[in-house]
């Protein structure tokens, strides 16, 4: 019986416009009303994710940056898994050698060497290249982040590497060249102590080996005294695999990568078709059937 539901954001809970549909919102709220806890499990930083999730008007725990940071419903940090300086320098050398663009995610902000490249990455992730309306919206979003200080443009990453007050939690690399990404992944695997994943075909997400959605979700379930067999996770890409492998019910989106669908217990509809809501509604129907069966057994006894 599902007692905890973990939801990825991009490509899963969010539609291509980076919004939560009304049906998804209603399904989450209904699950919470029936006593099922919901947790957000995202590759985004908290300061990126919360601006969207707060639309639910329901306090939720967060697994951020693929598990590099975990927060409770009050948004207090429960755990962090930062990359040490040695690992960061080795990773930077790999990306530099392949001429791969990357961003640095810390507990303070996201650092980028090129905001225009960031906009292009967002467009690719949303699958809306050459969409003027989407580009205008994303540019506005980037401007807000620059003003708030959660996005910082810099021409020298060394200042972040050398700042002891910055906890580097994730590096996100992007390239249109599949051969470059392939070579970089192989080199990164050889470094060790890294979790190497991705949230789209054209990127690489790097965190500490202990910073994975599956590990963080297991920790949250333990805190809540919930067995992992009673956990459902919904995701669409490679950075979701670690949690999908650990739960009792693994759900892949209709738009999920083939590797994700291969390990899932079931495949729901896509993120443009309210796949999250459909998966939750099915779980709630099963819960209701079990409760009715239990009630029938009690009345007979």
Does residue 135 have a pLDDT over 70?
yes
Instruction: Report the largest interatomic distance among the alpha carbons of the chain, rounded to a whole angstrom.
Output: 73
Q: What confidence tens digit (pLDDT) does each residue in 280-293 have?
A: 999 999 988 877 77
pLDDT in tens, 143-196: 988 999 999 999 999 999 999 889 999 999 999 899 999 999 999 999 999 999
Question: Residue 157 and residue 235: Cα distance in Å, rounded?
Answer: 32
* SS3 state at 199: coil
CA 107 to chain centre: 16
Neighbours of 75 (CB within 10 A): 12
For residue 118, what pLDDT band results from cuts at 50, 70 and 90? confident
Q: What SS3 class is residue 151?
A: strand
Cα separation of 169 and 67, whole Å? 9
- pLDDT on residue 18: 85
pLDDT value at position 188?
Answer: 97
At 299, the pLDDT band (50, 70, 90 cuts) reads: low
* Residues 58 and 28 sit within 8 Å (Cβ to Cβ): yes
- Using the predicted structure, report yes or no on whether residue 122 has a pLDDT greater than 70: yes
Which of the four pLDDT bands, split at 50, 70 and 90, describes residue 235? very high
What's the confidence (pLDDT) of residue 121? Answer: 78
Whole-number pLDDT of residue 90 = 96
Among the residue ranges 1-5, 89-93, 118-122, the one predicted with the least confidence is 118-122
Record the pTM: 0.90
Statement: residue 301 has pLDDT above 60: no
Q: What are phi and psi of 257, to 5 degrees?
A: -65, 150
The CA-based angle 146-25-234, given to 5 degrees, is: 85
């Amino acid at each position: 019986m599902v007692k905890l539901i973990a939801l990825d954001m991009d490509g899963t809970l969010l539609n291509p416009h980076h919004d939560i549909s009304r049906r998804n919102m209603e399904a989450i709220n209904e699950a919470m009303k029936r006593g099922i806890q919901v947790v957000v499990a995202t590759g985004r930083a908290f300061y990126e994710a919360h601006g969207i999730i707060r639309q639910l008007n329901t306090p939720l725990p967060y697994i951020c940056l693929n598990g590099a940071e975990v927060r409770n419903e009050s948004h207090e940090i429960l755990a962090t898994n930062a990359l040490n300086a040695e690992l960061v320098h080795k990773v930077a050398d790999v990306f530099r050698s392949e001429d791969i663009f990357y961003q640095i995610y810390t507990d303070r902000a996201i650092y980028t060497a090129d905001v225009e490249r960031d906009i292009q990455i967002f467009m690719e992730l949303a699958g809306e290249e050459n969409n003027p309306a989407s580009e205008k919206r994303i540019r506005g979003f980037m401007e807000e982040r620059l003003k708030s200080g959660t996005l910082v443009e810099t021409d020298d990453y060394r200042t972040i590497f050398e700042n002891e007050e910055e906890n580097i939690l994730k590096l996100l690399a992007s390239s249109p060249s599949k051969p470059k990404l392939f070579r970089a992944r192989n080199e990164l695997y050889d470094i060790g102590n890294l979790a190497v994943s991705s949230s789209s075909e054209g990127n690489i997400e790097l965190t500490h080996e202990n910073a994975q959605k599956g590990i963080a979700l297991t920790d949250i379930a333990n805190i809540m005294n919930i067995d992992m067999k009673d956990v459902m996770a919904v995701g669409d890409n490679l950075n979701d695999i670690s949690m999908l492998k650990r739960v009792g019910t693994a759900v892949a989106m209709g738009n999920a990568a083939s590797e994700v669908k291969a390990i899932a217990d079931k495949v729901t509809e896509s993120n443009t078709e309210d796949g999250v809501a459909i998966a939750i509604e099915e779980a709630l129907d099963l819960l209701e059937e079990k409760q009715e069966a239990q009630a029938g057994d009690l009345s007979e006894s």
